[in-house]
Amino acid sequence: MILTVTLNTALDLTYRVPALTPHASHRVTQVIERPGGKGLNVARVLAALGHETVATGFAGGATGAMLRTHLAPTPVRDELVETAGPTRRTVAVVDTTTGDTTQLNEPGPTVTADEWSTFRERFTRLLDGARAVALCGSLPPGIHVGAYAELVRLARAAAVPVLLDTSGEPLRRGIAARPDLVKPNADELAQLTGSREPHRATRDARRRGAHAVVSSLGPEGLLAATPDGLWRAAPPAAVKGNPTGAGDSAVAGLLSGLVDGAPWPELLTRAVALSAATVLSPVAGEFDAAAYAELLPRVKVTTESETA
């Protein structure tokens, strides 16, 4: 199975409006609720691809109960740890005329020392039998900034490949623990390395400890610094829609290829096609299966010069 970790889960709400106008009242034409947070988005996509998937992390309060209610009918196994504080909500407002999305993210609950200890024990148990683990998203209040570094070390000790997808100081500390794969976006990469030149920043991030780094370049696709060299993967054309969860779908594509033993070009192809198919989906955090199948053979993967 593949294990995903979401320490700061969310109840995702998608509001669709005919047009989003500042300082105006809006009539919402559709409301959609989904279990959210980066790792849960990854788990849902992996399950849709046919992988046995287990999700752990935290959930609490009325919003946490609603999240788990939505998660229950899915193939994802719920191993979330209960918190006293309520799970946060995230709101995506989709302008149906332009396809643009405005995102509002609440803070998460404060996690106690006892709740963290319970989670750590559960995570260690779940590593037994895991083929790969993804550590995804922000840290809620109460969790120490080196938490992901701690979890990376636990995964490595259990010989389970680990992918890290976070930002800021948790990324800086986590990458030093030597995860197998790190997937920052351009802003996270610049914050980590101090460079906005993609090739230099991606190589620099890898030198900081990761076995491989796959950086998201937005509509331009992915750039990967790997033991086998530099690779770039791009969609056949720019796609427009709701980008919520697109990066999480890319993570799912990378993990899917990793556990299948796919070579780097295939890993990156899956990641780019899933990411683009998620942008094309009308619901946050889901991908358009037909678009994914159509995009797969059209993703362009090329090798890049080490001196670029």
Residue 114 annotated among the catalytic residues of the structure: no
Catalytic position from the list 12, 165, 180, 248: 248
Contacts 24+ apart (CB under 8 A), 220-228: 221/272, 221/299, 222/250, 222/268, 222/271, 222/272, 223/198, 223/199, 223/304, 224/264, 224/268, 226/264, 228/264
C-alpha–C-alpha distance, residues 96 and 174, integer Å: 39
**Helix spans in the chain (H):** 38-48, 61-71, 113-127, 147-157, 168-176, 186-193, 198-207, 246-259, 264-279, 289-295
C-alpha–C-alpha distance, residues 69 and 99, integer Å: 29
Active site residues: 248
